[in-house]
Amino acid sequence: MTLNATIDRVTDRIRSRSQASRDAYLKKIDKAAEDGPRRAHLSCGNQAHAFAAMTNKDDLATTRKPNIGIVSAYNDMLSAHQPYERYPDVIRRIGDRIGATVQVAGGVPAMCDGVTQGRAGMELSLFSRDVIALAAGVALSHDCFDAALYLGVCDKIVPGLVIAAATFGHVPAVFLPAGPMPSGLPNDEKSRVRQQFAAGEVGRDALMAAEMASYHSPGTCTFYGTANSNQMLMEFMGLHLPGSSFVNPNTELRDALTAAAVTRAAALTRLGNAYLPAGHILDEKAFVNGIVGLMATGGSTNLVMHIPAMARAAGIHIDIEDFHDISEAVPLMARVYPNGLADVNHFHAAGGLGYMIRHLLKAGLLHQDVKTINGTGLDGYTAEPKLRGGELDWEEGSDTSLNEKILRPVSAPFARTGGLKQLQGNLGRGVIKISAVADDRHIIEAKARVFSDQEQVKAAFRAGEFTEDTVVVVRFQGPRANGMPELHSLTPTLAVLQDRGLKVALLTDGRMSGASGKVPAAIHVSPEASAGGPLARLRDGDMIRLDATMGTVDCLAEDFETRTPAPFDGSYSAEGMGREMFAAFRAVAGPATAGAGVVV
Q: How high does pLDDT run on average in the chain?
A: 93
Residue 250: other Cβ atoms inside 10 A: 14
Residue spans of the chain under pLDDT 50: none
Single-letter residue type at 19: Q
CA distance 523 to 507: 6
Question: Residues forming the annotated binding site?
Answer: 154, 221
CA distance 544 to 232: 36
Closest to 587 measured CA to CA, from 577, 598, 575 = 598
pLDDT at 180: 95
Q: Which residues, including other chains, have CB under 8 Å from residue 320's CB and lie 6 or more apart?
A: 304, 308, 422, 429, 431, 524, 593
CA distance 584 to 565: 24
CA distance 588 to 593: 15
Q: Which residues, including other chains, have CB under 8 Å from residue 311's CB and lie 6 or more apart?
A: 282, 287, 317, 318
Task: Compute the C-alpha angle 180/147/151, nearest 5°.
Answer: 20
pLDDT at 29: 96
CA distance 52 to 485: 43
CA 291, 293, 294, 296 torsion-angle sign: positive
Question: Beta partners for 473?
Answer: 450, 507
Closest to 247 measured CA to CA, from 257, 239, 234, 233 = 257
3-state secondary structure of 71: strand
pLDDT at 206: 86
| Residue pair 521/506 in contact by the 8 Å Cβ criterion | yes
CA distance 348 to 516: 21
Q: Which residues, including other chains, have CB under 8 Å from residue 9's CB and lie 6 or more apart?
A: 325
Q: If you ran DSSP here, which 8-state letter would residue 84 be given?
A: G
Single-letter residue type at 394: W
Question: Residues forming the annotated binding site for [4Fe-4S] cluster?
Answer: 154, 221
Please state, for a pLDDT cut of 70, what percent of the chain lies above it.
98
